[in-house]
Structure 1
Amino acid sequence: MASKAISIEVPGPDGETRQVRVSSPDRVMWPDDGITKEDLARYVVAVGDRLVARLADRPVTLQRFPEGVTGEEFYSKNPPRGVPDFARTVVCTYPSGRQHPQLVVDEVATAVWAVQMNTVTFHPWPVTTADTDDPDELRIDLDPQPGTGFAQAVEAATVLREVMVEAGLTPFVKTSGNRGLHVFAPIEPTHEFLEVRHAVIAIARELERRVPDLVTTAWWKELRGERIFADFNQACRDRTLAGAYSPRPLAGAPVSMPIAWDVLGEIAPGDYTVRTTPEIVASQDDAWAGFDDARARVDTALQWWQRDVEEHGLGEFNFPPDYPKMPGEPPRVQPSRARKVDDA
């Protein structure tokens, strides 16, 4: 028998409070950890100010799990039915050219309502509602490949930090909530998605040059080896990373946690979970507190891109498979299959 719905009181704007209904509060979202839907909603309230600070004024895709994280999942790009009156949406354009609205999470009550809709992970776009075509965040996903792990991701992130500083950017780092790391930089929204992607590719290539045995930019998995993949395609339109403080649908209920650079080598991804993060947030300063004051231009990284094109003959990388074929893109066939065709 389903448990009765509860009402959770959430601080709202101008000192008011909102009552957000949460149905099936006893639904177990992480079976191995006994964490329920109510637990998740109360986690969102506990870290709400910091969570919303990184989601606010952005289109957000919701990763939803109606039966918990071991069940079916789907990504809500269209806002779920029943969006509360106090929430808003913004229209986004997708790689196909079509447009539709996405939810904007401007306050904690909206995030709790998303949990009511069985959202586990919030995926904010790197744009604001005022300009959904020109990113104001540069993002690189350091993704450990088989044979590597978090320690190697930390090593790669340390070098990436140096590269990004040389490009005139201020990098911020967070755990992915899994084995990797996400490195962000706030940027001026002066270039559209494709140009920002080129800036990311240039930075990733420079990182790979410096530590080729540690980092790869190879899109095809068969070419990556035991290295950290610098995922440049997370810079594409309609590609998102888990938001800061956002839970992940993995054993232990880990959280994607902002980290200060000076403690990065001392922590482990499992330190930050739905159960442990509220106390950490309550007792420690926000590692990303200066994020919005550190905006910079991507001009230097784009100069690196142009240099690689003109002096080294390097150009476009592969786009995600659901993208239309893009100008200058290499063939969309994995190298081993291409060789078989050539040898036939």
Structure 2
Amino acid sequence: MNEGRLATYRRMRDFERTAEPRGDGTTGTGDRFVVQRHRARRRHYDLRLEFDGALLSWAVPKGPTLDPAVRRMAVQVEDHPLEYADFEGTIPAGEYGGGDVIVWDRGTWTPGEDDTAAALEAGTLHFELRGEKLRGRFVLVRRGEKQWLLLHKRDEHAEDGWDPEQHPRSVKSGRTNEEVAADPEAMWRGDLPADQAEIRLRPSWEPPSDSELAELEGLKSKGTWNLQGHRISLTNLDKVLFPGRDGEEPITKRELVAYHARIAPVMLPYLAGRALNSHRFPNGVDSPGFWHKQAPSHAPDWLSTWEYPGADADDVQRYIVPDSPAALAWLANYAALELHPWTSPTSDVEHPSWALFDIDPGERTSFDEVLTLARLHRAAMDHLGVVAKPKVTGQRGIQIWVPIEPRYTYAETRAWVEKVSRAVGNTVPELVSWAWTKTERHGLARLDYTQNVLNKTLVAPYSARPRPGAPVSVPLEWDELDDPDLTPDRWTIRTVLDRVTTTGDPFADLLNHPQPLPPI
């Protein structure tokens, strides 16, 4: 293989971080093609044709189609190694093309010209595809230096109105992009045989089965629920914890228990291995709640706990460490509505693995102003080269979560966040107050860097908040800050599961991206 053809591909990637194959001389068949559906900053499809020891590659934003009346833009990109034809998995955030990839279609191809290189040079390449989704005669026609048009000829395989988005599953694994993104515990190694390619990065969790959910629904006001081998004693299941909003029915403890169990596979990566502070509302959110940290003596034996070795005699000694869907269901029965994990793991409690920015609106702060502040954080992260993502709080604010290497003290992390926060705040001084008390802020927002302290926490991704309708704190992609329909409490425990199924978890890439804090 001509090593020079892969020089650009290799220069653009850090193979210490990405699972993409480097390309080490695998022998091909000469006639393979693959189309990969790739959700990076923008969703697109990558058409790749094996030729002369590498994969010719075009990014097709709207995807190839069998509709002969449709012309698709196709942008030629760098050649890829042959091993890439089998790549399915996630590219870490911050890496070139960061996002999730599936093998959307694959098969063989035949060029329509005798001299493929000459046809490419001339700017018109006819070819036939024999895939599981794409079949028939296609043509690529160059319309610029890198811009081409891709179209399907009107042949026996042509189909008017054929839309690639109606065929979303991988021909390799049967998974959708959303299912790949929602499973950050797995990384696909394209340089390994298929039976060895999936590498488990961390424990994974399964949601409750339909029969387990049916058992919960069938319980009377109290009873024992058997969830994934754990027996959970449930009480007052029909007690209203959240009033409804917008004419909806109120939300009972039974519904919260079910939500905690169902969201667990997505939520637990932010809780497992971390001490938990919980905000409990035994009488519902219309009555005052209270913070609870100490693991209770009546907790079941299977519930994981951790004894804090640095606790003083009058401090909390033992914390709950949620590590299963059953643990989250038990916490819901305990009326722990808000879950706040420590930012450092119990295995290295003095060194946080998250740096947190908290945009705390004042009484006069509009959500448009919160968005202005969040977008300024986006610009700051881009300027610093830091991978981070925002999260609506489910109440009024937005937080920015930054995954960091667990080698900084809390003091160092807090100092770094403060410098960034003050730089952001100084660009819009009319929106921000640095006063400590709310009365002194005169209704302005505070950029609260003080949360970066041991045992001082922010609400977990996908945790409910104590408000009517049970709104949820939801991770976002940066470009969602520009969505005119965005509100800080847009999703509730009744709607966020649909979002996760459709779009995956935007924070998933952050879980595998510890990074140094750049000097400021």
The normalised TM-score by structure 2 is 0.54
Query: What does 1:163-174 correspond to in 2, within 5 Å?
Result: 163-174=380-391
Q: 352, 364, 375: which one pairs with 1:158?
A: 375
Q: What's the offset of the Cα at 1:298?
A: 2.2
Query: What does 1:1-344 correspond to in 2, within 5 Å?
Result: 4-11=221-228, 17-32=229-244, 33-92=249-308, 93=310, 98=315, 100-266=317-483, 267-300=486-519, 304=520
Q: What's the offset of the Cα at 1:210?
A: 2.1
Q: What's the offset of the Cα at 1:214?
A: 2.7
- Unaligned 5+ runs, structure 1: 12-16, 305-344
Could you tell me how far apart the structure 2 residues matched to 1:264 and 1:216 are? Answer: 23
Could you tell me how far apart the structure 2 residues matched to 1:133 and 1:265 are? Answer: 37
Which amino acid in the other structure matches residue 383 of structure 2?
A: E
Could you tell me how far apart the structure 1 residues matched to 2:473 and 2:271 are? Answer: 13
Which residue of the partner structure matches residue 215 of structure 2?
Answer: none
Q: What's the offset of the Cα at 1:97?
A: 8.9
Change (3 A) 1:147 1:190: same
Q: Residues 95 and 238 of structure 1 are in contact (CA less than 8 Å); yes or no, is this contact kept in structure 2?
A: no
SS at match of 1:182: strand
- Unaligned 5+ runs, structure 2: 1-219
Could you tell me how far apart the structure 1 residues matched to 2:282 and 2:437 are? Answer: 33
SS at match of 1:216: coil
Q: What's the offset of the Cα at 1:213?
A: 2.2
Structure label with greater radius of gyration: 2
Q: Residues 396 and 489 of structure 2 are in contact (CA less than 8 Å); yes or no, is this contact kept in structure 1?
A: no
The normalised TM-score by structure 1 is 0.80
Q: What's the offset of the Cα at 1:201?
A: 1.0
Q: What's the offset of the Cα at 1:274?
A: 1.4
Which amino acid in the other structure matches residue 478 of structure 2?
A: W
Q: What's the offset of the Cα at 1:224?
A: 2.8
Q: What's the offset of the Cα at 1:20?
A: 2.2
Could you tell me how far apart the structure 2 residues matched to 1:53 and 1:207 are? Answer: 30
Deviations 1:147-188 (A, max 9, x none): 112221111011112223434421111111101001110011
Could you tell me how far apart the structure 2 residues matched to 1:188 and 1:279 are? Answer: 32
Q: What's the offset of the Cα at 1:71?
A: 1.7
Q: Residues 135 and 189 of structure 1 are in contact (CA less than 8 Å); yes or no, is this contact kept in structure 2?
A: yes
Change (3 A) 1:18 1:134: same
Could you tell me how far apart the structure 2 residues matched to 1:131 and 1:219 are? Answer: 30
Q: Indicate the structure with greater strand content.
A: 2
Could you tell me how far apart the structure 1 residues matched to 2:396 and 2:240 are? Answer: 24
SS at match of 2:374: helix
Q: Which has the higher contact order (CA 8 A, sep 6+)?
A: 1
Change (3 A) 1:94 1:239: farther
SS at match of 2:267: helix
Q: Which of 76-85 and 136-145 deviates more?
A: 76-85
Deviations 1:82-119 (A, max 9, x none): 22222222233469994612110111111111111111
Q: Residues 392 and 398 of structure 2 are in contact (CA less than 8 Å); yes or no, is this contact kept in structure 1?
A: yes
Could you tell me how far apart the structure 2 residues matched to 1:45 and 1:236 are? Answer: 30
The percentage of aligned residue pairs carrying the same residue is 29
Q: Which of 121-130 and 274-283 deviates more?
A: 274-283
Which residue of the partner structure matches residue 214 of structure 2?
Answer: none
Which amino acid in the other structure matches residue 29 of structure 1?
A: L
SS at match of 1:234: coil
Deviations 1:188-225 (A, max 9, x none): 11122222111111111111122222333332334434
How many residue pairs get aligned? The number is 294
Could you tell me how far apart the structure 2 residues matched to 1:75 and 1:45 are? Answer: 22
Could you tell me how far apart the structure 2 residues matched to 1:137 and 1:79 are? Answer: 24
Q: Which of 266-275 and 94-103 deviates more?
A: 94-103
SS at match of 2:329: helix
Which residue of the partner structure matches residue 311 of structure 1?
Answer: none
Q: Which of 108-117 and 93-102 deviates more?
A: 93-102
Q: Residues 273 and 345 of structure 2 are in contact (CA less than 8 Å); yes or no, is this contact kept in structure 1?
A: yes
Could you tell me how far apart the structure 2 residues matched to 1:98 and 1:67 are? Answer: 26
Q: Indicate the structure with greater helix content.
A: 1
Change (3 A) 1:175 1:60: same
Could you tell me how far apart the structure 1 residues matched to 2:385 and 2:363 are? Answer: 32
Change (3 A) 1:81 1:69: farther
Could you tell me how far apart the structure 1 residues matched to 2:471 and 2:435 are? Answer: 28
SS at match of 1:85: coil
Could you tell me how far apart the structure 1 residues matched to 2:285 and 2:241 are? Answer: 6
Which amino acid in the other structure matches residue 330 of structure 2?
A: W
Q: Residues 461 and 474 of structure 2 are in contact (CA less than 8 Å); yes or no, is this contact kept in structure 1?
A: yes
